[in-house]
A and B are shown apart, each in its own frame.
Chain A
């Protein structure tokens, strides 16, 4: 077959955009809110799945396995002087070492992903983590605070733009 000049072939990749959080703990739900905003403004792509989840531990393995590319959106609390709403762009390497969790509620993403690989699951080859800084997540409420809410439409559109680029 003769390839027309200027045409490039890209590998089709299955991508998971996973918004994590607890929507009844205020800003903790920002990851889910961002995915919902993406759904609102974007017609979607058959090779991209948008998923909301309030999950932790081993269950993440069920969600992540089988995809080529992973994008996670979640809240984060840090001790640096960045303001609430700041977006950290992280990778799995930024998450430290494999851990021995002190409880099943303490199993982290990095250990879960490594576990999946060792067990022979197909795990994403690339993982981008967009972590939005929040100040607290211990008060039950459904609304985001203003600085965190302001990030949602911006980050949603940024991720949509990222998805349009070749991996």
Chain B
């Protein structure tokens, strides 16, 4: 008789975000399902509104990562109005976006992924948290994380009037330019961010890679998943967070597709499963093949490791050197090791910081040519960026007056939803045998989940709720056989 294990991240959206693990009759893991909250009626809510309101509305989708939504929305407006932003506007947008990348990636690594590596997965649960990381690395380093974050947010606030909910978002440009005095400050922040990025990578190598136990964990098959990978690349097929084509590679790294995001519907399709609200995405040309990995699969991953896998390299020199070292250590490209998402995150933060330096030195940054006003309503626009967690697409269509008739969003967590199921399944398979979960199941499964840094329904905040996790073994009738819980 099969059994079911449930992991319930109980949020303020209780009952809508959880992981179910199903056991077969032998008590071994048969399947895992990642259920996501659906926020309903977004399209209906937007229909009839002036499309230029969208950059102001969409940041409210998420109170933790609103910047990518604002940026994708703004780029969609560029297309809706058939206008190319000025060179200066593109620099300002990329500067704002890079600043977001630096602070977002560092917060994730030090305070979310950090407990898994810096403190250790076997550590006392009372220490395996943000405060344990501070204890281990010291107040000085923790303070530097906060400082780099503060400086980057100051740039975001300068350019977008608020952080993290930016106000700017104009088709063809940006709402304000940069002065020479501000350039100096920006340069200082960029230099600080580069130095700290290099330090963070050094710390990762010392704490994680030089510890055989952690390195084994990164390379462990329980945390490996053979999928396709998708990410945005520039004209040299190097990683780009703001603009470019989407490149897809197969599990061996061969290019499968390279396309303008305007044609995403030719390449990405959505599949509906009855056990989850989220529509699972897959590669259209391969057809839906179910939840499986390898060459017979049509699933792909997005996010830090996926972007590096899908590219031919990084766009900045120091990041490129780190990229080469990572793949040499992992022994393969593409790398299928899910925990390497954390490593890739740090390399991306370094590229974002180096790119901030490039932009800060660009003479055009302080030009007053910040807006192209040759607007021409085309009635359709697709804006695509690489959000920190993966590819983000905003698709708008309007009537003749510029009022929305359609809005569709595909967020990173949606692209990764099916792979997350598989990652959780593989991690659970290592820790559940014969119906009995081994000690540490909860955390080992959570580690797989946490590497993706998913956004469950993009709730705006988690206050005053808490995040208890619970593993429940049930029989087919739903009776509880065994329960492991934390913070209930």
Which A residues fall within an 8 A CB radius of B?
20-25, 28, 53-62, 72, 74-77, 79, 90, 94-111, 114-115, 118-120, 129, 131, 137-141
Interface core residue of A72, A74, A107 (most chain B CB under 10 Å)? A107
B358 at interface by CB-CB < 8 Å: no
**A21's closest neighbor in chain B, by CB?**
B460
B12 and A131 form a contact (CB under 8 A): no
Of B86-94, B222-230, B368-376, B461-469, the segment with at least 4 beta carbons within 8 Å of chain A is B461-469
Chain A residues with CB under 8 Å of B129's CB are 98-100, 111
Shortest Cβ gap from B392 to chain A (Å): 15
B467 and A106 form a contact (CB under 8 A): yes
B379 at interface by CB-CB < 8 Å: no
**B125's closest neighbor in chain A, by CB?**
A100
B460 and A22 form a contact (CB under 8 A): yes
B463 and A20 form a contact (CB under 8 A): yes
Q: Which of B37, B38, B57, B111 has a CB less than 8 Å from the CB of A107?
A: B111
B107 and A104 form a contact (CB under 8 A): yes
Given contacts A22-B60, A76-B12, A105-B64, contact A55 B460 (CB under 8 A): yes
Chain B residues with CB under 8 Å of A61's CB are 146
Shortest Cβ gap from B10 to chain A (Å): 10
Chain A residues with CB under 8 Å of B446's CB are 100, 102
Of B75-83, B186-194, B320-328, B448-456, the segment with at least 4 beta carbons within 8 Å of chain A is B448-456
Chain A residues with CB under 8 Å of B466's CB are 95-97, 99, 108, 110
Q: Which of B12, B39, B64 has a CB less than 8 Å from the CB of A104?
A: B64
Chain A residues with CB under 8 Å of B153's CB are 62
Shortest Cβ gap from A26 to chain B (Å): 10
A103 and B464 form a contact (CB under 8 A): no
Chain A residues with CB under 8 Å of B112's CB are 101, 103-104, 107
Interface core residue of A60, A96, A114, A140 (most chain B CB under 10 Å)? A140
In the complex the two chains form, what is the Cα distance from A57 to B62 in whole Å? 11
B467 and A108 form a contact (CB under 8 A): yes
B460 and A28 form a contact (CB under 8 A): yes
**B454's closest neighbor in chain A, by CB?**
A103
Given contacts A105-B64, A118-B139, contact A55 B146 (CB under 8 A): no
Lowest 4 CB-CB distances: which A-B pairs, in order?
A: A56-B461, A140-B45, A22-B460, A56-B63
Q: Which of B37, B150, B454 has a CB less than 8 Å from the CB of A138?
A: B37
**Residues 28-60 (chain B) with a chain A CB within 8 angstroms:** 37-42, 44-45, 57, 59-60
Shortest Cβ gap from B121 to chain A (Å): 10
**B16's closest neighbor in chain A, by CB?**
A138
- Main DSSP-derived SS at the B contact region: loop
B143 at interface by CB-CB < 8 Å: yes
Chain B residues with CB under 8 Å of A109's CB are 462-464
Chain B residues with CB under 8 Å of A23's CB are 60
Shortest Cβ gap from A114 to chain B (Å): 6
In the complex the two chains form, what is the Cα distance from A54 to B65 in whole Å? 11
B164 at interface by CB-CB < 8 Å: yes
In the complex the two chains form, what is the Cα distance from A151 to B443 in whole Å? 41
In the complex the two chains form, what is the Cα distance from A137 to B443 in whole Å? 29
Shortest Cβ gap from B326 to chain A (Å): 22
B463 and A56 form a contact (CB under 8 A): yes
**Residues 100-130 (chain B) with a chain A CB within 8 angstroms:** 104, 107-108, 111-112, 115, 125, 128-130
B128 and A56 form a contact (CB under 8 A): no
What are some 19 contacts across the A-B interface (CB < 8 A)? A21-B460, A24-B60, A55-B64, A55-B164, A56-B63, A58-B149, A90-B464, A99-B129, A99-B467, A100-B129, A100-B130, A102-B9, A105-B454, A114-B131, A119-B139, A120-B139, A138-B457, A139-B41, A140-B41
A59 and B464 form a contact (CB under 8 A): no
Shortest Cβ gap from A54 to chain B (Å): 5
B403 at interface by CB-CB < 8 Å: no
Shortest Cβ gap from A108 to chain B (Å): 5
In the complex the two chains form, what is the Cα distance from A62 to B131 in whole Å? 18
B458 and A77 form a contact (CB under 8 A): no
Chain B residues with CB under 8 Å of A55's CB are 63-64, 164-165, 460-461
In the complex the two chains form, what is the Cα distance from A54 to B57 in whole Å? 12
A129 and B131 form a contact (CB under 8 A): no
A105 and B62 form a contact (CB under 8 A): yes
Chain B residues with CB under 8 Å of A99's CB are 129, 466-467, 487
B115 and A100 form a contact (CB under 8 A): yes
Given contacts A99-B487, A137-B13, contact A59 B63 (CB under 8 A): yes
B462 and A107 form a contact (CB under 8 A): yes
A77 and B12 form a contact (CB under 8 A): yes
Chain A residues with CB under 8 Å of B41's CB are 139-141
B13 and A58 form a contact (CB under 8 A): no
Chain A residues with CB under 8 Å of B339's CB are none
In the complex the two chains form, what is the Cα distance from A79 to B458 in whole Å? 22
B98 at interface by CB-CB < 8 Å: no
Chain A residues with CB under 8 Å of B487's CB are 96-97, 99
Chain A residues with CB under 8 Å of B25's CB are none
Interface core residue of B125, B453, B462 (most chain A CB under 10 Å)? B462
Shortest Cβ gap from A87 to chain B (Å): 13
Interface core residue of A58, A90, A102, A108 (most chain B CB under 10 Å)? A102
Shortest Cβ gap from A129 to chain B (Å): 5
**B116's closest neighbor in chain A, by CB?**
A100
Chain A residues with CB under 8 Å of B62's CB are 105
Chain B residues with CB under 8 Å of A53's CB are 63
Given contacts A99-B129, A99-B487, A114-B131, contact A140 B42 (CB under 8 A): yes
Given contacts A99-B129, A106-B9, A119-B134, contact A58 B467 (CB under 8 A): no
B73 at interface by CB-CB < 8 Å: no
Shortest Cβ gap from B47 to chain A (Å): 11
Shortest Cβ gap from B398 to chain A (Å): 19
Interface core residue of B104, B163, B452, B466 (most chain A CB under 10 Å)? B466
Chain B residues with CB under 8 Å of A103's CB are 112, 449-450, 452-456
Interface core residue of B42, B63, B463 (most chain A CB under 10 Å)? B463
**A142's closest neighbor in chain B, by CB?**
B45
